[in-house]
Structure 1
Amino acid sequence: MKVWIDGREHPELPSSATALEIMEAVKADAARSGHVVTGLRVDGVEMDEEAFLGLSGGLAAHFTLAPVRLLVRESLEEALAYIPRLRRGIEDIAGHFEQGETSRARSQLSEAMDGLDWTLKIYERCTALTAELIPEAEEHAIREGLLNALNRLIGLMGEKRYPEMALALRQELLPNIEALAANLGRLAQSRATPQ
């Protein structure tokens, strides 16, 4: 299989190389230049890494790369843009619990937890990719605070103590989301300044 990276042929790889060997070589080449693989087509068909690794044939693989710095900046911008929606959602959910609209609140809480999970994953990936020096104790405190707030919410929900859930959302979960947002902002700021 012939391999192309950002439109340029990669002749160093033998045509007999396996999909795994190709993927490892492309990723290593990308990492050396501060890039990551963002797209892959084999014989004109878009696919993900898992599908590529399952291939047993193909004539040409075209890889697209992007700078890690750009991906980190874009991810941080997306997460920071989402945080205000998450805050409003948590406030709305607390209000629904206070008004006795528990089924609506529970449904929205599930969506909010998915959004929080997505935001936390972006934060973790960006700190790992950029090797930012946010103090480990601070990172641990954010994770621990979120985990404690979520565990408390689960316990209160199990006991159907909905007014207390509203209070926990506002006084326990939101402050931890604010701490997460502050660190996302610090990471974004460090990405915006020339290095």
Structure 2
Amino acid sequence: MKKALISIDYTNDFVATTGKLTTGKAGQAIEQKLVEFTKEFIEAGNYTVFAIDAHDPTDTYHPENKLFPPHNVIGTDGRKLYGSLETLYEKHKDDPTIYWFDKRHYSAFSGTDLDIRLRERSVTDLYLTGVCTDICVLHTAVDAYNLGYNLHIVKDAVASFDEIGHNWAIAHFQNTLGAEIL
């Protein structure tokens, strides 16, 4: 088994109190666990991926611009990783096992080279952390399942601004996608 971590959208806009589309306290409460888990992955030499929303609010064709207020806008501090995850990333960003990429859609696989990079490294198991459990984490997990990856969701390192949606997604990961809930 070769494993990789996908850290999804744990940015200022999704987590900080002043974030443009914040999970607020729910997102802030997972910081320590998310950072500890990420640090363990990096220090073990496992492939660690930062899949981060990148939006242009003037893009009239992007459906999220009709659904949500502008968030994770390219060139803003809203796209920086939140809290101590930013510090950890900055310390290790030049490590060849770290991969940061911009994504336009909910899923980290949609329109990206993520699947190719994972297969090049013979990754079979994906560990997911980040926000929002019932949006970007969910869509990434569904695509990963459909691509044949084994899923592991770090329950104390995912959050949403919608508690009902969060709980539904955790159950869906386990009961429908066969994910291991850690």
Fold conserved (TM > 0.5)?
A: no
**Greater fraction strand:** 2
- Answer 1 or 2: higher relative contact order, Cα 8 Å, separation at least 6: 2
- With the shorter chain as reference, the TM-score category is under 0.3
Please, what TM-score do these two structures have when normalized by structure 1?
A: 0.25
Please, what TM-score do these two structures have when normalized by structure 2?
A: 0.27
Give 1 or 2 for the bigger CA radius of gyration: 1
